[in-house]
Amino acid sequence: MRLVSILFIMCCLSIQAQESEKKKKDLPFNITIANAPDNVYTRSLPATFITTFPENDTIPNSFAINGYIGLSREFNNFEFMATAELHRNTLISSKQFTQQYGIVGKYYTNFNLFSIPWIITPEVSIKYSEDKINDKKGMQVLGYIPIEYDLASGNKFLNLLEPGGIFPGESSNVSKWIQIKHTNSFGLEFINYEDILLFNASFSLELYPLSGLLKKQFGQFNILQLRYSIVERAKLNDQETDVFVGTFRSFAANLQYKVDPKGNTALSLGYEYNTGGNPLKGLADTSFGQLKLSIKANFN
């Protein structure tokens, strides 16, 4: 519960930081709260939390939390981040309780190809993981190579394909009715205590219906969000394992509110349905739906 309390404190601090942004000095590091620090896909998802406190003392409290806190610093083309994360769910039949601590390193480089400025950001994550449900602990080493390009290229078709970008822009008439965002990631994952090497392909598609029309009423774009995510894993070596290796799917419908004008901190309330498992986080193959409170924050 200690890490749960820290996440709540960081949520409050992130909101207070936005209020004091006009008079603050830059912090020596960035503070991030999101779902998991593994790659650009998991960092695009918010941290989630839900809990119940029964009045009957014979019934234990129940909760689900998936999130991390990261402290990062950039040095020229390098970025390093120290992370602490908690993935716990007592509301489902296959209980989940995994704590992880690690470091993420990223290197930014770019080159021109076909008159397009491409950006490659290889990143490596090394973490210690402890699965308290299955009594498994040890190291995980994750490597990914996101490929993007510079939006300043002005190519409208490429702008549509840009991971993490929202299309069309707020100035477009189409944005009144819908906006689209997607994120993807590909890489390798090695779980040392299982001695298995995995290939990971992740994709997330977000739709913002009536984005511009809702902005007229509530003062913000992207209030209503529909998201579909899929993560596909395949084992690359012959090592036998009892952890789930396969497909994880998620569908979510959220109402979100941006705390600051830049959208660095956003709160959301919604429903999410998940099916599949995640060997990195100690989640067995299962299906469940849940109402959830979410936060995604990044400030310095």
d(CA 5, CA 11): 10
Beta strand spans in the chain (E): 30-34, 47-52, 62-75, 78-89, 96-107, 109-113, 116-120, 123-131, 136-144, 147-149, 166-167, 178-191, 196-209, 224-235, 247-258, 265-278, 283-299
Q: What is the pLDDT of residue 162?
A: 67
Q: What is the pLDDT of residue 158?
A: 58
Q: What is the pLDDT of residue 9?
A: 44
If you search the block for the tokens 């690690």, which residue do you land on? 102
List the domain range (segments joined by +) for residue 54.
Answer: 2-299
**pTM given for the model:** 0.85
Q: What is the pLDDT of residue 132?
A: 96
Q: Is the dihedral of CA 55, 58, 64, 65 positive or negative?
A: positive
- Which residue stretches of the chain have pLDDT < 70? 1-26, 52-56, 58-59, 149-162
Q: What is the pLDDT of residue 26?
A: 64
Q: By the 8 A CB rule, do 128 and 135 touch?
A: no
Q: How many domains does the chain have?
A: 1
The predicted-structure confidence for 98-123, as pLDDT tens digits, reads as follows 999 999 999 988 877 777 777 788 99
Q: What is the pLDDT of residue 118?
A: 74
User: Which residues have CB under 8 Å from 5's CB, separation 6+?
Assistant: none
Q: What is the pLDDT of residue 155?
A: 57
d(CA 200, CA 197): 10
The predicted-structure confidence for 151-196, as pLDDT tens digits, reads as follows 555 555 555 566 777 888 888 888 999 999 888 889 999 999 999 9
Q: By the 8 A CB rule, do 182 and 203 touch?
A: yes
